[in-house]
Amino acid sequence: MPDSEPTVINTGERSSGAGWFVAILLLLVIAGGGFYLYNGGFGGEKKAIDVEVTLPDATPKTE
């Protein structure tokens, strides 16, 4: 049996640039949406949210 050159099989372990492009694009879209929501959406109006919380009286009774 004669010696032969080793066979190289490409298994595709290296990622292509397209995957990184999609990941960065998705990150930019999420960051942009978060910035949009944080700044009050379209128009830039800040909306004040008032939440009123009432708690029961928890002081001990003294006689």
In angstroms and rounded to an integer, the radius of gyration of the C-alpha atoms of the chain is 31
Tens-place pLDDT, residues 16-42: 778 889 999 999 999 998 888 777 666
On whether residue 32 sits in a domain, the answer given is: yes
On whether residue 29 sits in a domain, the answer given is: yes
On whether residue 60 sits in a domain, the answer given is: no
Q: Which pLDDT does position 61 carry in this prediction?
A: 79
On whether residue 6 sits in a domain, the answer given is: no
Q: State the CB neighbour count (10 A cutoff) for residue 1.
A: 3
Q: Do residues 46 and 40 lie in contact, with contact meaning Cβ atoms separated by under 8 Å?
A: yes
On whether residue 53 sits in a domain, the answer given is: no
On whether residue 48 sits in a domain, the answer given is: no
Question: How far apart are alpha carbons 58 and 56 in whole angstroms?
Answer: 6
Least confident of 13-17, 32-36, 41-45, 47-51: 41-45
Domains identified in the chain, total number: 1
- Residue range(s) defining the domain that contains residue 35: 18-43
On whether residue 51 sits in a domain, the answer given is: no
